[in-house]
Amino acid sequence: MPSDRTRTRDACPGALTTHAADDGALARVRLPGGRVRSSQLAVLADCAEALGDGTLHLTSRANVQLRGLRDTAALAERLADAGLLPSATHERVRNIVVSPASGLVGGLVDVRPLVTELDVAICARPELGALPGRFWFGLDDGRGDVGGAFDDRVDVCWRAVDARRGSVLLAGADTGVRVGVSEAVDVLVDLAAAFGHHRGEAWQVRELDEAQRGAVLASACGDRGDGAGQRAERGEDVVALGVIAQDDGRCAVHAGLRFGTATAAQARLLAGTADEAIVTPWRSVLLPGLDPGDAAAAQRRLAVAGLLLDADDPAATITACIGSPACAKALADVRADATQAISELAARGDVPDGAAHFAGCTRRCGRPPGPAVDVLADGDGYLVDGDTVPAGKLAEALATKGRR
């Protein structure tokens, strides 16, 4: 398998440039900041049902994928009509990961207004349309759930240090640059443009050598940073599943999805619950702005529909790539094996102490941010954090990693 560095073609899919998977065409729809209006979510559900496999697949970049597509031209038309495809030239590079609860609960500053500003700024720079489709922009409201949580995967990030200023991060490392809220978007866009100029064959900032990183920083920020390169500290995880009290007295409901997937019916239920939904990098959905009574009722409805509202459900701790037979690279039907492990853990009353990610190959697609037990198919069984484990013993292996 070629490494990212040796791959010469950007195979990262978009809504217009789809990927030919074993289960049909795959399209990835960018949702800057993970935000999607309820009407748009309903359109996505309709697209999945009418044109694809009937399921929405959330990603760890807080985007959504549609699989098994039969008519990609019809999909593009529907997405454009719904306002989900504002730029044909930049549609694959609108990867903006944001603290999901910003402006709702906690945080040093509400970064939500910066999302639209950054999205517009990205699309306004022609050269940014040539960025790799996996390039990430990040906006962290100070809690450290974006800047710091993703290791080196977020290429350029602004992380609030107080209500007025933030630190500039390159691949998760603090550059020493501090800029105000009003400067954040310009700096991130300039850094992205500088990366495009200096990247050579690199797909992400983490692949640049020290000299290249220095050139990127100098091009965008001059001598404002010391380039210290200290790793940004990991902060809070995303808010807990269930009903959450917002700072304004209203409530939000945070619902997990098994393997980050929602049937069209589940997606329509989510769309009918709140005016907007926020897809998180943990492949869950946050539904804000509800009255307390409505939030409690919504929690009950969503649970009945099969969504995850309890953090002690083993299914809430386990993620997985698509696996076989949908992916030719996968060495196992990892979702079937993960489902079996979840059932056995539930029967035992065990909840792994932390996340676990099942992957069908060494690419480890869909791996969540932060630490996770690595469950990697190897053709004969699995490697669980490097230890050989038969498929039938996965629940036992995960349980030994710790209990809550």
CB 276 within 8 A of CB 38: yes
Kindly report whether the peptide bond that precedes residue 352 is cis, defined as omega within 30 degrees of 0: no
Secondary structure of residue 101 in the 3-state scheme: coil
* pLDDT at residue 310 greater than cutoff 60: yes
Q: For the chain, what percent of residues have pLDDT higher than 70?
A: 93
Per residue in 189-241, pLDDT tens? 999 999 999 999 999 999 999 999 999 999 999 876 544 555 556 666 567 89
Residue 122 and residue 188: Cα distance in Å, rounded?
Answer: 9
Residue 59 pLDDT: 93
CA angle 356, 360, 366 (to 5 degrees): 55
Residue 4 pLDDT grade (very low, low, confident, very high; cuts 50, 70, 90): very low
Q: Is 176 exposed, middle or buried (0-12, 13-18, 19+ CB in 10 A)?
A: middle
What structural domains and CATH numbers belong to the chain? Answer: 106-236 (3.30.413), 242-311 (no CATH), 315-399 (3.30.413.10)
Q: The tokens of 8 are what?
A: 């010469």
Residue 96 and residue 73: Cα distance in Å, rounded?
Answer: 25
Over range 58-69, report the average pLDDT: 94
DSSP secondary structure string for all residues of 233-301? PP-PPSPPSEEEE-TTS-EEEEEE-GGGEEEHHHHHHHHTTSSEEEE-TTSEEEEEEE-HHHHHHHHHH
Residue 148 pLDDT: 73
Per residue in 384-404, pLDDT tens? 999 999 999 999 999 887 544
CB 362 within 8 A of CB 356: no
Which strands, in side-by-side order, build the sheet including 173-180?
A: 96-98, 137-140, 156-160, 165-170, 173-180, 230-231
Over range 45-71, report the average pLDDT: 95
Residue 404 pLDDT: 45
Which is nearest to 241 in space by CA: 311, 141, 150, 322?
Answer: 311
Per residue in 139-196, pLDDT tens? 999 999 998 766 788 999 999 999 999 999 999 999 999 999 999 999 999 999 999 9
Over range 26-44, report the average pLDDT: 97
Over range 38-59, report the average pLDDT: 97
Which is nearest to 133 in space by CA: 48, 196, 197?
Answer: 196
**The one-letter amino acid at 41:** L
Residue 202 pLDDT: 93
Given the DSSP bridges, would you call strands 372-377 and 165-170 parallel, antiparallel or unpaired? unpaired
In degrees to the nearest 10, what's the CA dihedral of 36, 96, 367, 402?
A: -80
Per residue in 341-379, pLDDT tens? 999 998 888 777 778 999 999 989 888 877 889 999 998
Residue 8 pLDDT: 62
**CA pseudo-torsion sign 273, 16, 31, 306:** positive
Residue 270 pLDDT: 98
